[in-house]
């Protein structure tokens, strides 16, 4: 969290000479302990009065702590997660396409067979008629 700094004196946490914790104000500003103690319930950045503050440490609740996460790391991890989901869905879609193509192949082969049978049937019908005619002539 190299960007965290007191919005008034620009001190950074752990910087030499800066003691105590940092605070997040209810008006979304950040203050070091020294500046907070010198201005108390008035925000030194936006001059809002009767502000409330929260300590920026592990006690900060999740709702506010998320503002201090390493956003690039979150994005990288989300991207990895999305990549896995994408891969899974791609495999499913490929399988569906393969299955559909196979099914289309079966339908095509059945139609071809049906056509062959129809031709055969016509041929047999014609032969039958010719035989009948031949029989009648006798
Ligand atoms: Zn300060
Ligand atoms: Zn403020």
- pLDDT for 16 equals 61
- Token pair of 18 as six digits: 């800066």
Residue 31 CA, ligand 2 centroid: distance in Å: 9
pLDDT tens string 59-116: 999 999 989 988 999 999 999 999 999 999 999 999 999 999 999 999 999 999 999 9
22, 54 contact by CB (below 8 A):
no
pLDDT band at 15; cut points 50, 70, 90:
low
Backbone angles phi, psi at 45, to 5 degrees: -90, -50
Residue 42 CA, ligand 1 centroid: distance in Å: 14
What residues does the ion ligand 2 have nearby, CB within 5 Å? 27, 29, 43, 45-46, 48
- pLDDT for 14 equals 79
Residue 61 CA, ligand 1 centroid: distance in Å: 23
CATH architecture, domain 1-69:
2-Layer Sandwich (3.30)
Residue 70 CA, ligand 1 centroid: distance in Å: 23
- pLDDT for 18 equals 65
Residue 55 CA, ligand 2 centroid: distance in Å: 15
pLDDT band at 40; cut points 50, 70, 90:
confident
pLDDT tens string 108-132: 999 999 999 999 999 999 999 999 9
Beta strand segments in the chain, E: 22-25, 30-32, 53-55
Q: What does the domain layout of the chain look like in residue ranges?
A: 1-69
- Token pair of 30 as six digits: 């950040």
| Cα 15 from Cα 131, distance rounded (Å) | 110
Q: What is the mean pLDDT of residues 40-57?
A: 93
């Amino acid at each position: 969290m190299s960007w965290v700094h007191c919005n008034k004196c620009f001190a950074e946490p752990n910087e030499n000479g800066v003691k105590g914790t940092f605070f997040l104000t209810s008006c979304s500003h950040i203050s070091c302990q020294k500046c907070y103690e010198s201005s108390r319930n008035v925000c030194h950045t936006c001059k809002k009065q009767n502000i409330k503050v929260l300590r920026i440490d592990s006690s900060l609740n999740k709702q506010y702590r998320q503002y201090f996460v390493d956003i690039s790391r979150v994005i990288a991890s989300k991207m990895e997660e999305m990549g896995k989901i994408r891969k899974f869905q791609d495999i499913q879609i490929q399988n569906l396409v393969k299955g559909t193509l196979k099914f289309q192949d079966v339908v095509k082969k059945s139609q071809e067979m049906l056509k062959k049978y129809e031709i055969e049937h016509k041929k047999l019908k014609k032969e039958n008629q010719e035989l009948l005619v031949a029989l009648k002539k006798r």
